[in-house]
Amino acid sequence: MFVRDAKALCPHLVIIPYNFEAYEVVANQFYDILHKHCNRVQAVSCDEAFLDVTDRVDEDAEHTTSVIRQEIFEAIGGTPSAGVVANMLVACHTNC
């Protein structure tokens, strides 16, 4: 949501400044971890992505997801959410 839209809905909204450089560092760590595990990463935002792991069919997708989540938690400190679905169409609908 754009700030102007948020202020239209909530005129007393207080906007707190953010540290873009810190976001960039964390986003780079996040994407480095994703690329370590997958060659096909589609970025959605600074903290959201879709991964196509069909080339890793011999591996357990849920285990791979757990490993990626743990690495993100250890590197960044946040608790990431993740899901495993059969195709991009389902992923897009599940994400909405």
62 labelled catalytic: no
Residue of 48, 62, 71, 74 with catalytic role: 48
d(CA 72, CA 70): 5
CB-CB contact of 16 with 6 (8 Å): no
Give the CA angle between residues 37, 76, 29 to the nearest 5°. Answer: 50
Residue 69 per-residue DSSP state? H
Beta bridge partners of 41: 51
Residues belonging to the active site: 48
